[in-house]
Amino acid sequence: MSARYKSISWNRSKVVYDTVLAFAILAFILGYLKLAPSLPGFASAVELPIQRIRAFGSCAFLMLSVLLCIGPAARLDRRFLPLLYNRRHFGVMTCVVAAAHASFVLDWYFAFSRLDPYVGLLVANTSYSQWLGFPFEIFGIAAFAILLVLAVTSHDFWLKFFTPPVWKALHMSVYAAYALVVVHVAFGALQDPKMSVLAMSFFLVPPAIVVVLHIVAASHHSPSSETVKASAVTSESWLPVGSVHDIRDGRAKVVVLDDDSEVAIFRHSGKFSAVTNACAHQNGPLGEGRIVDGCVTCPWHGFQYRPDDGCAPPPFTEKIATYRLKREGELLFLDPRANPPGTYVKPVEL
């Protein structure tokens, strides 16, 4: 991101990320074309164009599976965070591989047809009333349409244009795309009577891993923060949120309020400040980040805010809501009423 509205250039981490990903894609496709025909359940006599279609389709399916595993994996282990920072690059490259798969399908199956390939794809098989021979292509078309929209709107310009909540809601449709891809692949596999257990496991294991990772991550709290449910209201609506010694320096405790909104209470240089747990960029979990250069730093993309007023340091202009804190002995209390974004609140001394 550029503070002076200059063109965004690739830094070293982005170059390494994209290079490794490109080589991994190339290695998978070449390996598939070379090794797949010799595996049980894969017909070695299948023409090369069909194997090429399957190679790119399988690659896109696995990439989308890995893409959806990055988020929960980063919540479980911070060593996966570098994969998270440039996840949009991964998503765009997944769309490119899926586009290549679709292009090869059109080029092969409708190369000698009198119909336009796009028309033929939609009308060549309309057996929607039967299980075997069901036109599974329709699921792939719908999934690719979603991936294309997400790739086109992946730039921060669209995030700013739509606003973070709308942009985030739009990009959550990647789960709908994945469900469509799984159905597309499953119905496609059912059309092959020679499909082996080994080949079927290739299509069943990745979705199972995605589901399990999300379930585990949903019940796990980041080691860098502590989450508590604050519902016991005392006089003057102050909520007890624990001891001042519960929070490590530079880290946060996340408090979940009765309305399910979240507050991150940070300890910084012998002081305590409370801000909303949602980053203004993409609603990232600020409480899972840490204090860097005196600012609350989002673990997703590095957006920063001063802990006492929730303002991003100049020249940036983003602001987040702040909350009042008070101390009684060793206990901290939180006022659950949010202040307007950018409101200064005097930190509580340790």
CATH H superfamily, domain 225-349: Rieske [2Fe-2S] iron-sulphur domain (2.102.10.10)
User: Does residue 53 surpass a pLDDT of 70?
Assistant: yes
Task: Identify the bridge partners of residue 49 per DSSP, sorted by sequence position.
Answer: none
How confident is the model over 226-268, as pLDDT tens digits?
Answer: 555 555 444 458 999 999 998 999 999 999 998 889 999 999 9
Phi, psi of 145 (to 5 degrees): -60, -40
Phi, psi of 255 (to 5 degrees): -110, 125
User: Whole-angstrom Cα distance, residue 154 to residue 92?
Assistant: 8
The full set of domain ranges for the chain reads 12-218, 225-349
How confident is the model over 185-230, as pLDDT tens digits?
Answer: 888 777 766 666 666 777 789 999 999 999 998 887 544 445 555 5
Q: What predicted TM-score, i.e. pTM, was given to this entire model?
A: 0.72
Order of strands across the sheet that contains 239-243: 239-243, 331-334, 325-328
User: Whole-angstrom Cα distance, residue 285 to residue 29?
Assistant: 36
